[in-house]
Structure 1
Amino acid sequence: MLLGLLKNEFIKLFAKKKTYIIWGLFILLCVMLVIVSESSERNYLKYSSPKAQVENLTNELANQETYLKSIQNDASLSEEDKKVNEEQAGIYIESLKEQLESAKASLENSTKMDWKGELEARIKEQQKTVDSISDTDARKDQTRELERLKLHLANNVPLDAENYNTGINYYVLNVIMIAASFLAIGLTLFNGDNVSNEYNPGTLKFLLVQPVSRIKVLLSKYIVMVLSSTALIMVTQLLFFLGVGVIKGFGNFNRPYLVGLKYEYAYQNGQKYITEVSGSGHYIFLWQYLLEALALQLLFLIVIVTFVLLISTISKSSVVTMTVLICAILGGNIVYNLSTTYRKISPFIFLHYSNIEDIITGRIVMRTGSFLFTWQTVAGMSALTAFLFLGISLWVFKKRDIQI
């Protein structure tokens, strides 16, 4: 009987125009992220490649030489001022010439010496830096940077790998941005009226006269809400990842990513503040980071859908349901930004689990001032909150007096 209820809910879901509109908007958002990523890659190549550096330095050198000639022909300047300005311009021009020669050498040798040679040289320089530092904290930070460089070399990952619009880079960006900006509001619009709209036209009473319990009726709605929301968000993200990967390349999944930063209280001039523990954190591969991000996104998706179910079950009006949900989401974010006290208790409020990147890296502690804001707290509170919301929804739906 439950399978029949699920089938019925899916039929109703795909009979709504709203389903396709929201899905279309989400696809459009994913397309916009592709465009942004591609634009960022082009800008990086334009301004950071050896060819671009040669072009920019050549133009700058020409401008400075023109400026030097204008100084020499400027009758308004005294001989002493001319001499000073010519000397300064000459020093800068010589510096530009040296930079230009170095950039040309890099351009000419780009096919002869690959990025590994440059990275090996950088590792040697970083090792010298580490060995020369006596300060313990600074040494820890520089050692962490040395570890990053070695991981890039060991796993065959260029240092600029993050600047390219590859499949894995796009996937990570999509998950982080969607969770932070779209997930809560999008799922509210997608699911907000799934229960409450049944009361007004009286369609729910036709379900309740069937030989099936109210618990199964509401569970069927909840299961469809979770599955359809997962398909809307995570399946679409996966398809875009595959599309970008096929066209642009999937990229290197072993790029090191710094996570697990630790913080502590420090005191200065009688003031207490939170500071990062020197050298804290550890590196994981990008594919591991992505899996953790997807897990947190899925948890956030489930708890938001369960919250939507709760409000939609309690309210008999779709308008009231949508109003309460949107006010709760927007109001929570406003208070979060305005109140430091509220931010300290935000680890226990599911509405603030959308900042996936900061949660995984540990930077959320710095933002909120709460050492309790960890991914373990988020996972535990998400599961507890979803279970509580679902239990209340089932109890309310079972006890509610529905006139047939």
Structure 2
Amino acid sequence: MFKITKIELLKLLKQKKTYIILFMLILLMFTSLKTNSLDMNHIISMNYENATMIDSTKNSINMIKEQLKNDTFTSDEKKEYKEKYLPNAEKELKNVQIIQDKNTDPMDKLKAKIELMKCEIFEINSGKLSSGFSMSQYNMELRYLQHLYDNKIPESKYPMYNSFNYVLNFFTDIGVAIIILLFAILSSDIVSKEMDDSTIKLLLVQPVSRFKVLLGKYMAIILSAVCMLLLTFAVFFIIFGFMHGFGTPSYPVLTHIKYEPHAIPEDSIRYLFDGNSGYFVTSLNLIIKEMLFFILICITTVSVSFMISVLINKSVLAISINVIINAALMYLIYGTTFVKNISQYFYLSYIRSTDVFTGKIYSILQNTKLIPTQGIIVMIITIIISFSISSVVFTKKDM
């Protein structure tokens, strides 16, 4: 079997299609060097370094002091302003000054930002400040900043362009769908092509069982796809690192965020996240999990394509059907609401692996059952079924 796998790998290396697909993968990475390298760790971005913030905060303090002189205020109102709102505004000013001081230690600046956000939350809850952000967003951002402070990790500038973010954000993009289609094309004629031109008979006359022939071909295409994927990402991780920096492997990413359904006037459903849910993992930890998860997605894609290649004798037809099936299924999952309630049973629902691990896939597909564990189970079952059908058909097929 290992000899057959080696032979099949050499065949793949001699095919022009293999190098075209590798070139397409490289081109895909190049086109996403900038578009996908945005910060994903911030839920909201507060511009506390705006030069006008000090003046506006001072004006707020002066307004409160003027209101304390207002004779129309009751003694209780004056007491509330003096004991709550004035100290809060003065605390805001102090923290803004710390943030905008260029000589401030990064960790002190981070602490000041946390305190400043707490001041804003107090004002929002008191009805003294309106904000475009929800309280859930404030809570999530506070947890993020507090995690940085507790673990002595300096806050990175927004947006963050580095290798770790490049990889994490790539898995939220349309590029992952293109990778799936490329691997579907790569594997969809590995058997049908040889059936089409009758070269499969040369293998079958060897003193090796049909099952071993099939398994050898299957292992060869799996190894090719995985190696191409890992090689491409490794190269671009290094390229992006030299261009923009590698980033910090310990930098936190908030994962497994919970989204709750909320009805809106149009009688449709949208999902809003709970700012107190989820937990942090390091960028390195998440990338390792996502790469393994995406490799499993690619293996599943190859397995399904391999099955179609066994079922259909004509290579052109096999490739066409494969691309149509994958493209149509992705469209139904991501472009319509037709299959949203059962999307957890389709492995292509999990191709945006960053969104699966962070929890954003809940709101994208409006299905809270789309979790990594469910995805792994679906993919393993799909692989087993696909290869089982392939082996049964291949061993009984009239060549």
- 2:286 corresponding residue in structure 1: 289
- Match 2:227 to one of 218, 228, 231: 231
Q: Distance in 2 between matches of 1:151 and 1:270?
A: 38
Percent sequence identity is: 25
Q: Runs of 5+ in structure 1 lacking a partner?
A: 42-47, 58-101
SS of the residue 2:398 aligns to: coil
Name the counterpart of 1:98. none
Of 131, 154, 159, 2:155 maps to 159
Structure 2 unaligned regions, length at least 5: 40-45, 53-95, 127-133
For 1:372, what is the secondary structure of its paired residue? Answer: coil
Aligned pairs (5 A) from 1:25-174: 25-36=24-35, 106=100, 109-110=101-102, 112-129=103-120, 142-161=138-157, 163-174=159-170
Which residue pairs with 1:353 in the alignment?
350
Normalising by structure 2, we get a TM-score of 0.76
Q: 2:375 aligns with which of 369, 374, 378?
A: 378
User: Separation in 2 of the partners of 1:342 and 1:35?
Assistant: 33
Whether the aligned pair in 2 keeps the contact of 1:162 and 1:169 (CA below 8 Å) is no
CA distance in 1: counterparts of 2:344 and 2:47, whole angstroms: 43
Deviation at 1:131, TM superposition (A): 6.1
SS of structure 2 residue aligned to 1:371: coil
Name the aligned partner's letter for residue 327 of structure 1. Answer: I
Q: Which residue of 1 aligns with 2:197?
A: 201
Q: CA deviation at 1:344?
A: 1.3
How many pairs does the alignment contain? Answer: 341
Aligned-residue offset at 1:23: 0.8
Could you give the per-residue CA deviations for residues 350-372 of structure 1, whole angstroms, max 9, x where no partner exists?
Answer: 22221212211222222223222
Partners in 1 of 2:247 and 2:157 — Cα distance?
8
- Give the secondary-structure state (helix, strand or coil) at the position aligned to 2:248: coil
Q: Once the 2 structures are TM-superposed, how far is the Cα of residue 341 of structure 1 from its aligned partner?
A: 3.5
TM-score, normalized by length of structure 1? 0.75
SS at match of 1:34: coil
> Shift in Å at residue 211 of structure 1?
0.3
CA distance in 1, matches of 2:27, 2:366: 36
Q: What's 2:312 paired with?
A: 315
Partner of 2:61: none
**Contact 2:184/2:302 (<8 A) preserved:** yes
Q: Deviations over 1:250-300 (max 9, x none)?
A: 211222212212233446779574443452222222222212211221111
Aligned to 1:163, the other structure's residue is in SS state coil
Asked whether the 8 Å contact 1:207–1:217 carries over to 2, the reply is: yes
Query: Structure 1: how far apart are the matches of 2:284 and 2:339?
Result: 34
Report the CA distance between 1:349 and its aligned residue. Answer: 1.1
Q: Does the CA-based 8 Å contact 2:114-2:145 persist in structure 1?
A: yes
Q: CA deviation at 1:5?
A: 0.6
Residues 141, 279 of structure 1: 8 Å contact kept: no
* Corresponding residue number in structure 2 for 1:391: 388
Structure 2 counterpart of 1:372, one-letter code: K
CA change 1:179–1:223 in 2 (3 A) is farther
- CA change 1:322–1:363 in 2 (3 A) is same
Check whether the contact 2:183–2:302 (CA below 8 A) recurs between aligned residues: yes
| Contact 2:139/2:275 (8 A) holds in 1 | no
Contact 1:155 1:254 survives alignment (8 Å): no
SS in 2 for 1:182: helix
1:15 and 2:22 aligned: no
